[in-house]
């Protein structure tokens, strides 16, 4: 499964080593002809860890309640941790994550905003803010966070974060199903996935996914039909569905083509409509298309 239903994996911040340099104090020579002795260096005390008071056992209990969908107990536990550690970025994120998992994005936002103020260099806070803004319908701030995550991914100063190929934009409840929409930093895989929408059943199991892709095989025809657009670097895109067949292979289905890259909201709305109408990919007979990546590999 590419993305778990719970977002608790975002709670533990990336390990970041902050180095600070103190300016040298001015030195006064008491005798002009005498070489001054350098004062002994005083080791700098490490900055206090604002998350030190967060009990690992208490945090683990919140996460366990979250994973078992015992949201009331998870929220009570997370708020108790925060009450004891109000200046802890981790504690603020933990409360926000519990609220996000209950689809209370508007209530989660203030906790992530506090966490960002307390830990401004932590990309995981921006990843959570992105989801909260997206799920509360704030497209302007959502897209600002998408840009910030891309800057963190490409700035060369966050090597762990740079290894992550995609980021979660939002979780969308649709009837008895849940869609998790993710965006790739760079087109991914053989068919160049730009967005992937994982579709989960009521039990939280991955059933299928729909991807916006731009297959190289589709570009020659696009270039012949739309030479001016192709000359400017535009490409043909398609919306494709993938589901596991009875023989264990993955069957692929084509929904539509786009001449040029569609924006995220247009693709999102199309995917939601397909799921609402029961047209999402379903388990197929034991046949598979040549365009059939593994569900586990994406």
What residue ranges define each of the domains in the chain, with the CATH number in brackets? 8-13+54-162 (1.25.40.10), 166-297 (no CATH)
Residue 127 in this model has a pLDDT that exceeds 90: yes
Q: What does the alpha-carbon distance between residue 57 and residue 249 come to, in Å, rounded to a whole number?
A: 41
Ranges 79-88, 123-132, 239-248: which has the least confidence:
239-248
Angle between helices 123-135 and 139-154 (to 10 degrees): 160
Closest CA to 209 of 193, 200, 201, 197: 197
pLDDT above 50 for 292: no
Give percent of the chain above pLDDT 90: 71
Residue length of the chain: 298
Unique residue bearing structure tokens 């991955």: 206
Q: Which residues contact 49 (CB under 8 A, 6 or more apart)?
A: none
Is the backbone of residue 27 left (phi > 0), alpha (psi -120 to 50) or beta?
Answer: beta
CA–CA distance from 2 to each of 5, 59, 164, 205 (Å)?
10, 23, 12, 11
Summarised one tens digit per residue, pLDDT across range 157-205 is: 989 889 999 999 999 999 999 999 999 999 999 999 999 999 999 988 9
**Longest CA pairwise span in the chain (Å):** 94
Mean per-residue pLDDT of the chain: 84
Q: Which residues partner with 180 through β-bridges?
A: 171, 198
Q: How confident is the model at residue 247 (pLDDT cuts 50, 70, 90)?
A: confident
Taking the whole predicted model, whether its pTM rises above 0.95 is answered as no
The residue with tokens 């963190």 is: 152
Angstrom CA distances, 174 to 132, 170, 178, 204, 275, stand at 18, 13, 6, 13, 7
Please give the span between the terminal C-alpha atoms of the chain, in angstroms, as a whole number.
9
In this predicted model, what pLDDT tens digit does every residue of 33-56 receive, in sequence order? 444 455 666 667 677 899 999 999
CA–CA separation, 280 and 48 (whole Å) = 50
Are the C-beta atoms of residues 243 and 287 closer than 8 Å to each other?
no
155 vs 65, 152, 160, 203, CA distance in Å?
36, 5, 12, 39
Count of beta carbons in the 10 Å neighbourhood of residue 274: 20
**10: how many CB neighbours lie within 10 A of its CB?**
20
Continuous segment of H or E residues that includes residue 244: strand 236-244
Residue 85 — pLDDT band, cuts 50, 70, 90? very high
């Amino acid at each position: 499964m590419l993305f778990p239903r719970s977002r608790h994996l975002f709670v533990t911040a990336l390990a970041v080593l902050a180095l600070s340099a103190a300016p040298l104090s001015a030195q006064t020579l008491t005798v002009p002809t005498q070489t001054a002795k350098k004062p002994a260096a005083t080791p700098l005390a490490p900055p206090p860890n604002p998350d030190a008071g967060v009990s690992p056992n208490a945090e683990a209990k919140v996460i366990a309640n979250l994973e078992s969908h015992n949201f009331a107990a998870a929220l009570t536990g997370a708020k108790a941790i925060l009450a004891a550690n109000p200046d802890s970025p981790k504690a603020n994120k933990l409360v926000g994550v519990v609220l996000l998992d209950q689809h209370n994005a508007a209530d989660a936002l203030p906790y992530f905003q506090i966490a960002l103020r307390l830990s401004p260099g932590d990309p995981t806070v921006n990843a959570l803010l992105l989801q909260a803004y997206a799920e509360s319908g704030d497209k302007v701030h959502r897209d600002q966070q998408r840009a910030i995550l891309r800057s963190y991914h490409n700035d060369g100063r966050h090597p762990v974060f740079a290894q992550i190929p995609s980021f979660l934009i939002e979780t969308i409840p649709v009837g008895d199903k849940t869609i998790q929409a993710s965006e790739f930093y760079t087109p991914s895989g053989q068919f160049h996935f730009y967005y992937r929408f994982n579709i989960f059943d009521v039990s939280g199991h991955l059933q299928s996914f729909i991807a916006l892709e731009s297959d190289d095989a589709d570009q020659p025809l696009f270039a012949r039909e739309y030479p001016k657009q192709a000359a400017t670097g535009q490409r043909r895109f398609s919306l494709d569905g993938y589901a596991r067949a009875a023989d264990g292979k993955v069957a692929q289905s084509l929904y539509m083509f786009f001449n040029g890259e569609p924006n995220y909201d247009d693709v999102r709305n199309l995917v939601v409509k397909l799921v609402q109408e029961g047209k999402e990919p379903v388990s197929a007979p034991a046949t598979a298309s040549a365009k059939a990546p593994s569900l586990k590999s994406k």
